[in-house]
């Protein structure tokens, strides 16, 4: 008997605290839903992650309401989801061969760069020129900056998971996509800071932008350099510990630590986890770590995808509500631009040989970053709730459209697929 | 890039939210500390769990202060610890052979019964008769009821983990201890309700007590009966799913669900997780489930033990502070009674053959239940902070004294040890 008497305690002594039974039921529903809909997706020839997103939509507060939108349970689910995406990026790092990554480096840089600039311009021009009847004309061009920014950053989590479901993380295209998506994150951080400065009404100095860029890139480089020297030496000692779980758990702990450091240094949490994976990929214990971290990831990463799905408000999809049809139409246009912009980025790097459509489509899914841009805009009063909804629909649209397309494009994979999936 | 922009967002828009980097650093420290001190404990011939408890004391808010006593990080750590103990009990259930359990049933009932009555009486008489200079004489006998109650319930988590570390869960003594500890929990629930009634100033009807007892026992019986019929049939279907993690994750989800149901039905969370383990032990997928749940348990259960350790206020151990020496002395007396009472319980069930000292010592560790009793008493104003500290010291004392003694008693294990540890 552990914290079990909490309800009695609360009743007797007026104490508060998390409602643990409610949290456990929500968690159980998320896990069962993820597995059932993941299976369903696979049975109809789609990646499992698509099913997990659908499960999230159904369990979300706007549909069945099993996952609350706010409150203590929602907070804990968010943290578990965050741990899930960190472990996913750690696993992806573990499977990343840095030399192979360098080989596709120039292609990844080109794809990332074009994939940020084109969607930004497309979003900005769409919002400031095409009549959509939303927002105040005086703030229109600032709002357009937000819309453009929201179109820039690829969600590395979703793309990586789809490629992993398809056993295509190790293909040339897979490596370019992951490399470009990671760089996208770096650029996303820079843009977010600029946009945040605009939202706060201040100005952003070129020096400030350069500093953020340097920190974000520098963190990755320094962490991998130092970690790559320390980790193999440290883990020769750790591997001698009697507990066979000491190695994977200390590795995981260090990846959580590196994630926190990345954030504190001004980079992003998942960059730290990814760097940790790359570092441990070069230790002799890489396989042992991967083997024992995988079941933990298998439990926690679906929580992330269900959680992403649950953020969709299904009421937005109803064309019958007032203004619903025009909002859907505007969102559809933005989604089309979001898809085209990234697909076009696949045709960057003319010097290299790879399947360009596959890379472009792999960059399509946008994630929370887009939502964060929109959220900053909404909180600062520059974007209305309707505009926020449009961005939300764009993010969901790109997220749902990419997995089936990727499945189609990576089917009959010709080159260098990794034999084992990360899942 | 996921929730990474949170700091920027918070800075820009004044948003709040959990401090994820701080949480990740705390989590990393807990995991690394647990593994290092667990290793240290094993090197000096002690069970790993003792090292984890020590790591908790050192990381706790009264020592290094890495684990905060309150706040969002503390709450999330508590929930992860709770998941850890649920998974531990699920694993123990998975390794429990119900027929073997029935074979030791009468011994377990006798040990549990004597092990509740003797410590209760010892605690009550000690507090109401031996001069200790604490508390108001008018509430002395009520306070003595709380002290007695706090001495009753064994912490099944700690004992099970020690036995698992020693590969002795499957021995006759191991089965009796687990069985009696589970029954202790049932009795603990009943006592808690009675004591809570006293704290609230009300009276407790014999009908109410009987009802709680019936619900707690009934839940276990009904859950195992229904689950034992449904689970093998359900999991023949689940095992056909393409994702090889579907089986263990759905099993874990159902155990979380059963834990929540147990709590809602008036039983205890961990009873539900234990019942789920027993149910799945009888499916064909038991081994597959155990194999894949173990790495998750290896990550989460140490968080529980570190968390328990962190609740000790090391300042209480200082005999130099005012009243410190007498408080330590009173606590020492209570701890001695707590140990003797449970050791004596090992000599119940004269009809059965087992190593009585080993069983008695196995029942010694008290856990959060003791603290909950003390907490109810403190909140209702019947116990002073000093008395609460005495109970806390008693709980910690029994927790720290049992692992080395058990190690000694189970060394050179003669009969039927399970070949593989649960860790």
pLDDT digit of tens for each residue in chain B (423 aa)? 333 333 343 433 333 356 889 999 999 999 999 999 999 988 887 778 888 888 998 999 888 989 998 888 888 998 999 899 899 889 888 877 777 777 788 888 889 889 989 999 999 899 888 777 676 666 667 778 888 888 888 887 778 888 887 788 878 888 888 888 888 877 776 777 677 666 666 566 777 777 777 877 788 889 999 999 999 999 999 999 988 899 999 999 999 999 999 888 877 787 889 889 989 998 999 999 999 999 999 999 999 889 878 877 788 778 888 777 888 888 899 999 999 999 998 888 888 788 888 888 888 988 666 766 777 677 777 777 778 778 888 888 888 888 888 888 877 554 444 444 444
Q: What is the SS3 assignment for A77?
A: helix
Verify whether the Cβ–Cβ distance A380 to B13 is below 8 Å. Answer: yes
* Contact status of B138 with chain A (Cβ, < 8 Å): no
In a domain, B394, yes or no: no
pTM, two decimals, is: 0.82
Q: What share of chain B is helix, strand, coil (3-state, %, to 5)?
A: 75, 0, 25
> How confident is residue A156, by pLDDT bands cut at 50, 70 and 90?
confident
The verdict on residue A109 lying in a domain is: yes
**Residue B301's closest CA among A245, A386, A130?**
A245
Which has the higher per-residue pLDDT, B165 or A2?
B165
Mean pLDDT value of segment A62-75 = 88
Lowest mean pLDDT: which of A115-119, A264-268, B201-205? B201-205
For residue B339, what pLDDT is reported?
Answer: 92
Domain total in chain B: 1
Q: Binning pLDDT at 50, 70 and 90, where does residue A204 land?
A: low
Give the least confident one: A217-221, A351-355, A416-420, B69-73.
A416-420
The reply to whether B364 falls in a domain is: yes
How many CB atoms neighbour CB B229 within 10 A? 12
Measure CA of the first residue to CA of the last residue in chain A; give whole Å: 35
Which residue in chain A has the smallest CA separation from B43? A242
Q: Which of B8, B184, B299 sits opposite A296 (nearest CB)?
A: B299
**Measured between alpha carbons, how far is A312 from A410 in angstroms, rounded to an integer?**
28
Alpha-carbon gap, residue A280 to A87, rounded angstroms: 13
Instruction: Categorize the per-residue pLDDT at A9 as very low, low, confident or very high, splitting at 50, 70 and 90.
Output: very low
- pLDDT range class, residue A141, cuts 50, 70, 90: confident
Length of chain B: 423
Q: What residues contact B326, with CB distance under 8 A and at least 6 apart?
A: B132, B133
Q: What is the CATH number of the domain that holds A404?
A: 1.20.1530.20
Q: Which two tokens stand for residue B332?
A: 């020492």
- Cβ distance of A79 and B75 shorter than 8 Å: no
- Residues of chain A with Cβ-Cβ distance to B52 below 8 Å are none
Q: The domain containing residue B215 runs over which residues?
A: 82-302+324-381+402-410
The model's confidence at residue A287, banded by pLDDT at 50, 70 and 90, is very high
Q: Is residue A232 included in any domain, yes or no?
A: yes
Residue B36 covered by a domain: no
Asked whether residue A15 is assigned to any structural domain, the reply reads: no
**Could B185 and A1 be called an inter-chain contact, meaning their C-beta atoms sit closer than 8 Å?**
yes
Partner-chain residue, chosen from A86, A260, A267, that has the shortest CB–CB distance to B25: A260
In a domain, A415, yes or no: no
* Nearest CB neighbour to B250, from listed A24, A31, A48: A31
Whole-angstrom Cα distance, residue A6 to residue B192? 11
Q: Is residue A153 part of a domain?
A: yes
Return the closest-CA partner of residue B111 out of B53, B8, B44, B183.
Answer: B183
Measured CA to CA, the distance from residue A41 to residue A47 in angstroms comes to 6
Rounded to an integer, the average pLDDT of A359-380 is: 76
């Amino acid at each position: 008997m552990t914290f079990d008497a909490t309800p009695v305690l609360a009743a007797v002594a007026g104490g508060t605290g998390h409602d643990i039974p409610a949290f456990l039921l929500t968690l159980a529903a998320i896990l069962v839903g993820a597995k059932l809909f993941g299976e369903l997706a696979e049975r109809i020839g789609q990646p499992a992650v698509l099913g997990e997103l659908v499960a999230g939509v159904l369990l979300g507060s706007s549909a069945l309401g099993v996952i609350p939108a706010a409150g203590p349970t929602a907070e804990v689910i968010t943290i578990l989801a965050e741990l899930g995406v960190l472990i996913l990026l750690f696993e992806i790092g573990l499977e990343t061969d840095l030399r192979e990554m360098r080989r596709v480096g120039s292609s990844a840089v080109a794809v990332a760069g074009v994939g940020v600039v084109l969607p930004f311009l497309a979003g900005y021009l769409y919002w400031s020129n095409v009549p959509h009847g939303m927002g105040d004309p005086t703030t229109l061009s600032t709002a357009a900056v937000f819309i453009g920014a929201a179109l820039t950053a690829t969600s590395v989590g979703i793309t990586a998971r789809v490629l992993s479901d398809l056993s295509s993380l190790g293909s040339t295209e897979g490596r370019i996509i992951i490399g470009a998506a990671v760089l996208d994150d770096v650029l996303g951080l820079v843009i977010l800071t600029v946009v945040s400065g605009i939202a706060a009404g201040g100005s952003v100095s070129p020096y400030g932008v350069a500093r953020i860029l340097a920190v974000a890139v520098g963190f990755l480089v320094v962490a991998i350099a130092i970690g790559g020297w320390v980790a193999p030496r440290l883990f020769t000692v750790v591997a001698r510990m009697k507990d066979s779980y000491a190695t994977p758990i200390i590795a995981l702990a260090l990846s959580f630590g590196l994630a926190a450091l990345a954030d504190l240094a001004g980079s992003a949490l998942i960059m730290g986890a990814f760097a940790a994976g790359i570092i441990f990929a070069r230790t002799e214990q890489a396989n042992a770590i991967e083997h024992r971290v995988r079941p933990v990831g298998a439990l926690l990463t679906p929580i992330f995808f269900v959680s992403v799905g649950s953020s969709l408000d299904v009421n937005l999809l109803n064309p019958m509500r007032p203004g619903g049809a025009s909002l859907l139409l505007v969102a559809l246009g933005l989604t089309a631009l979001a898809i085209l912009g990234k697909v076009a980025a696949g045709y960057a790097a003319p010097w290299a040989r790879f399947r360009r459509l596959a890379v472009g489509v792999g960059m399509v899914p946008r994630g929370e970053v887009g939502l964060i841009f929109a959220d900053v805009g909404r909180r600062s009063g520059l974007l209305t709730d309707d505009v926020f909804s449009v961005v939300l629909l764009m993010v969901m649209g790109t997220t749902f459209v990419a997995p089936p397309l990727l499945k189609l494009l990576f089917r009959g994979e010709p080159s260098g697929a990794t034999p084992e999936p990360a899942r």
